[in-house]
Amino acid sequence: MEKKTKYIVEMIDISKSFGSVQANKNVNFKVIDGEIHAIIGENGAGKTTLMNILFGVLLPTAGEIRINGETVVMTSPNKAIQLGIGMVHQHFELVPSFTVAENICMGHEPRNKFGTVDKQQMYNYVQQLSEKSGLKVDPEERVEKLSVGLRQRVEILKALSRGAEILILDEPTAVLTPLECQELFAVLHKMKKQGKTIIIITHKLREVMEIADNITVLSRGETKGTLHKNETNELELASLMMGKTPNFVPLNKNPIKESEPLLLIENLSVHNAVGKQILKNINFDVRPGKILTIAGVEGNGQSELFDALLGFLPLSSGLIIAEGKDITDSNIKDRRSFCSYIPEDRSTTGLDLSASVHDNLIAGIHCLEDWQRGPRCIDYKKTCTLAEELIETYSIKTDGYEIETNSLSGGNQQKIILAREMNFGNKILICAQPTRGLDVGAARFVHERIIEMKNSGCAIVLISTDLDEVLLISDVIKVLFEGEIVATLSPEGLSPEELGLYMTGAKKMKEGIRIEYAN
């Protein structure tokens, strides 16, 4: 007699609408007890919406959820936690000034006979949980001092401390180095052996084939199938995701005649509010038609470098020369006439999500005379025509330019930023994590647009933790570690693993090695 499959999670005919937008349509999703199950799909396919329904963040418009065969109504995350479900969101929800143990035990701290928090008991509990799960952390360390990889561990431990038997991870490797990814995968396999069930939302097909047992594909809010990894491959998965077989031709990088740098950075240093040096004597230049990438693990100064270049952060010393002009002391608005920029966090610094698609597309040019009709009056007819053109050119999926940007998927929000910044016509483009959280098709679209800018003679600074991206489009790579440039590398013949070693400080630049690539 054939053994019946035991499903720990069953989501049956789940639908979810946000006004006229249907995020999920009759989705069926089943997870076997004790497996690692991946959910993949293009941006806007409904993956995170589906998992937010499972975790009680959202109520479905229609459908049924069963946990261990029992029908349940997920009214809140607390309800999901009671049923043994934990979720680690893509954007961590930790208190930076609290210790690791305080974050993990928040809301259920052990108390002594006087009713106050027993810190030693709390530290001991977290230490034991850490050792059992394989997620090694220091319970007494403050979260603000941790790397992104360690913060992720704290989030997972927080879920486990609440009794999670089903763990949902949203884009868990988006900000990790190859070494950190392998460490995470080892931990997940250990948790699986301990009987945990793990659901992963991801775009990275190579990782899916490495870590998952079964894979569910969503496209346009609908289920396209669930496959075992031994019965599929990356090409088939990409075809199901995109509705067609991807045919990515090699990126066409045109040779550009050598000329003077468009951007020159000399001895740039930055201190934080308490006087700690964050960036130390940064030097580089970027010439027309070149992509210079700043690679590094999160927390080593990349964000501060981006902010310093754009004027969000004051310099302690150094010079910034753009197109031969010293802009070191220029304000943000003046720098915008030289530099277009794509910030790493599209939802906070890249867009006003409550504003319309139109307003986000014209932000920056709205104050220019060419786009005004009389004093301080925007030529709305002209800007609407531009918005329509950019929506078409950049394939932004939207019901119109007047709807709120918040209603669009992350990939389409990123396309708005891309369209706006590349339409400026500046000769310098600074990109920070331009494809973070994007699916394979959307990421390819971004890379093609960046290469178009390069081929037009634009000087590009790319700040990225995605090693595949770094090796794919860079002309030269500078590794930032603990606020200093520690290596200058050519992407030719460089493996992700070797680059990861430089980024983590495990490998140092030797005299004459890999410095052969000229700016």
Does the structure show a pLDDT above 60 at 2? no
What's residue 151's pLDDT?
A: 86
User: Is residue 169 very low, low, confident or very high in pLDDT (cuts 50, 70, 90)?
Assistant: very high
What's residue 357's pLDDT?
A: 94
What's residue 475's pLDDT?
A: 93
Structure tokens at 136: 């090694």
- For range 210-237, the mean pLDDT: 90
What's residue 406's pLDDT?
A: 87
More confident residue, 229 or 174: 229
DSSP string across 106-162: TTS--B-TTSSB-HHHHHHHHHHHHHHHT----TTSBGGGS-HHHHHHHHHHHHHHT
What's residue 458's pLDDT?
A: 94
- For range 67-89, the mean pLDDT: 94
Q: How far apart are CA 303 and CA 340, in angstroms?
A: 16
pLDDT tens per residue, range 275-312: 889 999 999 999 999 999 999 877 788 889 999 999 98
pTM for the structure as a whole? 0.69
Contact 73, 243 (CB under 8 A): no
> Which class is domain 1-84+198-203+213-243?
alpha beta
What's residue 216's pLDDT?
A: 95
Mean pLDDT of the chain: 87
Contact 3, 24 (CB under 8 A): no
Q: Which CATH superfamily hosts domain 266-338+426-503?
A: P-loop containing nucleotide triphosphate hydrolases (3.40.50.300)
Q: Determine which of 100-109, 196-205, 358-367, 435-444 has the lowest per-residue pLDDT on average.
A: 435-444
Instruction: Give domain limits for the chain.
Output: 1-84+198-203+213-243, 266-338+426-503
User: Is residue 244 very low, low, confident or very high in pLDDT (cuts 50, 70, 90)?
Assistant: low
More confident residue, 7 or 22: 7
User: Is residue 243 very low, low, confident or very high in pLDDT (cuts 50, 70, 90)?
Assistant: low
The pairing of beta strand 263-271 with beta strand 317-322: antiparallel
| Amino acid identity, position 333 | K
- For range 127-138, the mean pLDDT: 89
Candidates 452, 450, 453; CA nearest to 463 is 450
- For range 382-406, the mean pLDDT: 90
User: Is residue 512 very low, low, confident or very high in pLDDT (cuts 50, 70, 90)?
Assistant: very low
C-alpha pair distances (Å), 101 with each of 122, 124, 140:
6, 9, 6
**Does 266-338+426-503 match 1-84+198-203+213-243 at the fold level?**
yes
Does the structure show a pLDDT above 60 at 514? no
More confident residue, 299 or 454: 454
Q: Determine which of 21-35, 170-184, 192-206, 416-430 has the lowest per-residue pLDDT on average.
A: 170-184
- In the block, tokens 């200093």 appear at 484
